[in-house]
Each structure stands twice: as structure tokens, then as C-alpha cells.
Amino acid sequence: MVKQINWSPLAKEELRNLLLSSLQKHGNKEQGKVIYSLFQNALHRITLNPFIGQATEADNIRYITPHPDYTLFYRHSLLKIEVLVLWNNSHKAGKIKTILKENPKC
């Protein structure tokens, strides 16, 4: 059975910002396509085995780093994978807890 992948509004916004900044920085869509395909490959692996990611302190939330600059935080259940946060690794790590608390829909 294929699991459904849902992106939280926060993760969608960060992905959108990442792709737009990549387009502005490089002048073409190629770099954005490469990063996006890395995310898609990571999510495909997660659908096959949701426990592939590292566990966090929070129940049922794991993370995987498909690109050295970005980490995907996700929650999994029997039917779906929910991408909670697309984290830019250049940000301070302690800030992730604040973001998750401020956005209860994550």
C-alpha cells in the first residue's frame, strides 16, 4: 500500500521559498530541480520504511537529511506521511522547538 504524503503549510512555504531563492541565486531552475528530486527520493524511501529517519524527542516525529543544507521533519502513521517542517540547517537548532509550538498544525 502506498502512503499518502502531506506537506504542512509551514513546510510548503519553506519549500516554495527555497525554490524561489534557488531560481534567483542561480538564474535557472536546474539547482531547484536537483534539490526537489533529493526531497522526493527521501520521501519515497520514507514511504517504504518510515523508521528510516532519526527519532526525535517528540512522539512519532522523525527527521531525515536529504541534502546537507536541509532536513525534513515528518510524522508517520499507517496511512500517511506528514512533512511538518523543511528545516534550513544554517538556522539555530533550538529554534525548531519554538516553530513547532507556534504552529500547532505542524
Print the domain residue range for 24: 4-102
**Cα–Cα distance between 104 and 106 in angstroms, integer?**
5
The CATH number for 38's domain is: 3.30.2310.20
Q: How many structural domains is the chain composed of? A: 1
| Cβ 3 vs Cβ 9: under 8 Å | no
| Across 80-92, average pLDDT | 88
Q: Is the pLDDT of residue 94 over 70?
A: no
pTM of the full predicted structure? 0.82
Please state which of the ranges 13-17, 31-35, 87-91 shows the lowest mean pLDDT: 87-91
- What's the pLDDT tens digit per position in 13-28? 999 999 999 888 888 8
Q: How many CA atoms lie within 13 A of 46 on its CB side?
A: 30
Please provide the average confidence, as pLDDT, over all residues in the chain.
87
Q: What are phi and psi of 69, to 5 degrees?
A: -90, -10
Q: How confident is the model at residue 71 (pLDDT cuts 50, 70, 90)?
A: very high
